[in-house]
Structure 1
Amino acid sequence: MTHDVRGLLSPSPAELAPGDDSAVITSVETYALAVPLIRTLSDATAQLKAWTVPVVEIRTADGRVGTGISGVHCGAELLTQVIDDYYAPALLGTPSEDILGTWKRLYWLPTHWIGRSGPVHMALSMVDIALWDLAAQRAGLPLWRLLGGTPDPIETYNTDGGWLNLSVDELARDLGSLVDRGWRRVKVKVGKADWREDAARVRAARRAVGPDITLMCDANQRWDFSTAMRMLPVLAEVGMDWFEEPVHADDITAHRRLQAASPVDIAAGESLYSYHAFANFLAAEALRVVQVDVTRVGGVTEWMQVAQHAAAGGLRVVPHAGDMMQVHQHLAGTFLSETAPLLEFIPWTRDAFVDRTVVVDGYAERPQAPGASTAIAAAARERWQIKGIGATAAPR
């Protein structure tokens, strides 16, 4: 259902920041792709056969198209409906260059009261990414260069070999193959009903990759505090680099207690949706690896705020890749930090984009085309677009 909210949400011309008439937004289109996986994969919370990519395309009077994306297990229609029914009417006729002003206007729409996180905020991220994509195109620069990043390749760690539905033997083979292909950092999923199985898996993972490969693990929030505490000695024994989402994402106290007791760094962030949520975790000293995701917080604008805050406190910023690295390859290494940038690599949606990510010997090469690398390939849309999701809004 589409609601006519233009009169309620559209600002008057006097309220808008002045800008280039050619950069005025003329249409907003949404849709979603279901990109099939080569094999069924599971973590402690979901079984995946496809990865869904909600998309917004924002067109401006000069003919440019800015593309914003997200990444979800399910519920793509929730994100696109927020854009179609609430954000699109507030965007039409406004200057696309006013990125921060637009962010604030959309954030404080009536939808603020029902969604300061989740689909409403993720929809804001899609719009914000699209506006940054337009800004980089207009500047004739890849987004990382517009943001002041260096051209150096960025090291990646690989998540695509340690899935929970793999047997111990399959796990060992998959992780070993990633190392053979050049990755020096790999991650294994945990979160079995019996923590002893997890202990056996991480020990097998260490044997498979040897002593010199960096190993991380991810429980996807499925453990309680007691189980996580039982696993700490095992994780220290195998030299685990970090322990990701060990308990419920909103339980700051449990994260703080684990980090205080653990020689292994606690990592979290894929289930935190705002600068304020991250600020609370950082103030509590509840984690040391900040996994802020541009598709979960409010886009590039809020991602930069979180990353700069965390790095200023000496913490590692390692993005969670809900975007499958398409946008994060531009964001990594664009802020002051004492640690080298690191990206999560998952290859599921590379064929969906005009500019595919390029990773050589475990290092992501910086994209060179102007924009944020988010433009969807026409063939991918033809093959994988989900029927019945999305709409197009244009001036009447």
Structure 2
Amino acid sequence: MVVELPSARGVLSPEIADLIMGDEAAEIVSIETYALAVPLSRPIADATAAMSHWTVPVVEITTKDGRVGTGISGVHAGPELLCNVINDYYAPELLGTASEDILGIWNRLYWLPTHWVGRAGAVHMALAMVDIALWDLAAQRAGVPLWRLLGGTPDPIQAYNTDAGWLNLSEAELVRDLSSLTDAGWNRVKIKVGKPDWREDARRSRAVRKAIGDDVTLMCDANQRWDLATANRLLPVFEEVEMDWVEEPLHADDLDGHAALQAKTVLDIAAGESIYSFQQFSSFIAHDAIRVVQVDVTRVGGVTEWLQVAAHASARGLRVAPHAGDMMQVHQHLVGTGLSSVSPLIEFIPWTQHAYVDRSVVREGFLERPQIPGASTAIAAEARQSWQLRGIGGTRNL
């Protein structure tokens, strides 16, 4: 269904409208949303979810000059919620305005009445999709990949591999898969923890360390499944096997618990997958509750808020290692674009590579910077034909 909406010039004062319109060629004339269910090569599970597909909500924003900017997210469920927010609430504010006004659009969308029902979760993730699409357009109009527009260098970025340590694997399968990664040259790998019996997590962690040796960096992710007592039981084990970090050990909103845990260990506590705003990250950082900041461009308000969080964390000497809800498609442009004393690091999960026109490239554990102008988010036509979910999304035209 196509809904006709008035131009910004018809609802704003002439002076403000002129500022918002900017370059006439950059005027937003169409917004389309849809979602893909991309099949995984095998079923996987962590401590909270079991999956056979990864769902990718998409927004395509078209400007008057025919350019299309693409914004994406990544969800376990509910892609229609993100698409509905964009179609029903954001589109009327976007159509007829200039795609160049990225910060102005961010603020206007954030402070819509939807703010009061969604400062985190689906509403904020929908804002991220729009923001990513606008940055994609900005890089296209500049004729450069997004990382170059943001001032990054072409140096390869070190990656770590998450795609072998799943919780549904038996201990033998876990050891085999992690060993196969290290044999292939990966020197940074992550496993999932959070079994009902914490002793099983201890056994699996020790078995993996024994198999991969001491020279491989090992991390673990509990996906919020522990209480403070369970986490405290496991800390000595993780110190023994020299975990690089312990990710999401507690409920994502438990600031005091994370701070207490960080104070008890020499290991770094990591979080960010379920933190949705600069303000919340700032609180965790101020209380020394995390030392690995896993800010995700699809969970905070897109590129605009991601840059704010990353700069704040880097200025305090913390590691920025983003959670890859986008399967690193956008993050490959973001990591390593700001001043930091810590080498950039990116999470490698190759689930959705075939969904994109411009696929990411990782060789010998290092990500190579993309060269095509934009944010590497354009969806391949064959992917949409094969994996688009019916009944989700829609189109709004000026």
Query: Which residue matches 1:125?
Result: 128
Aligned mate of 1:39, from 28, 39, 42: 42
Q: Runs of 5+ in structure 1 lacking a partner?
A: none
Q: Within 1, Cα distance between the matches of 2:65 and 2:207?
A: 56
What TM-score, normalized to structure 1? Answer: 0.97
What is the aligned-residue identity percentage? 70
Query: Which residue matches 2:92?
Result: 89
Query: Which residue matches 1:100?
Result: 103
SS of the aligned residue for 2:220 comes to strand
Following superposition, the deviation at residue 11 of structure 1 comes to 5.2
SS of the aligned residue for 1:192 comes to coil
Aligned mate of 1:352, from 352, 355, 358: 355
Structure 2 contact 4–397 (Cα < 8 Å) conserved: no
Aligned mate of 1:79, from 67, 79, 82: 82
Following superposition, the deviation at residue 305 of structure 1 comes to 0.1
Q: What code does the residue aligned with 1:53 have?
A: V
1:206-225 alignment, distance < 5 Å = 206-225=209-228
Aligned mate of 2:153, from 136, 150, 155: 150
Following superposition, the deviation at residue 3 of structure 1 comes to 9.6
Query: Which residue matches 2:15?
Result: 14
Structure 1 contact 5–86 (Cα < 8 Å) conserved: no
1:150-299 alignment, distance < 5 Å = 150-299=153-302
Following superposition, the deviation at residue 14 of structure 1 comes to 3.5
Q: Within 1, Cα distance between the matches of 2:125 and 2:342?
A: 28
Q: Within 1, Cα distance between the matches of 2:6 and 2:141?
A: 28
SS of the aligned residue for 2:317 comes to coil
Q: Within 2, Cα distance between the matches of 1:186 and 1:195?
A: 21
> Once the two structures are superposed, what CA deviation does each residue of 1:282-334 show, in whole Å capped at 9, x if it has no partner?
11110100000000000000000000000001100000000000000000000
Q: Within 1, Cα distance between the matches of 2:6 and 2:215?
A: 58
SS of the aligned residue for 1:355 comes to coil
Aligned mate of 2:304, from 275, 281, 301: 301
Q: Within 1, Cα distance between the matches of 2:296 and 2:279?
A: 14
Q: Describe the shift of the 1:11–1:250 C-alpha distance in structure 2 as closer, same or farther (beyond 3 A).
A: farther
Structure 2 contact 72–326 (Cα < 8 Å) conserved: yes
SS of the aligned residue for 2:243 comes to coil
What TM-score, normalized to structure 2? Answer: 0.97
Q: Within 1, Cα distance between the matches of 2:68 and 2:351?
A: 24
Following superposition, the deviation at residue 5 of structure 1 comes to 8.7
SS of the aligned residue for 1:241 comes to strand
Q: Describe the shift of the 1:11–1:51 C-alpha distance in structure 2 as closer, same or farther (beyond 3 A).
A: farther
Q: Within 2, Cα distance between the matches of 1:11 and 1:271?
A: 37
Q: Describe the shift of the 1:97–1:218 C-alpha distance in structure 2 as closer, same or farther (beyond 3 A).
A: same
Structure 2 contact 7–97 (Cα < 8 Å) conserved: no
Q: Within 1, Cα distance between the matches of 2:308 and 2:349?
A: 25
Structure 1 contact 185–215 (Cα < 8 Å) conserved: yes
Following superposition, the deviation at residue 343 of structure 1 comes to 0.1
Q: Within 1, Cα distance between the matches of 2:375 and 2:295?
A: 18
Structure 2 contact 58–71 (Cα < 8 Å) conserved: yes
Aligned mate of 2:342, from 339, 354, 358: 339
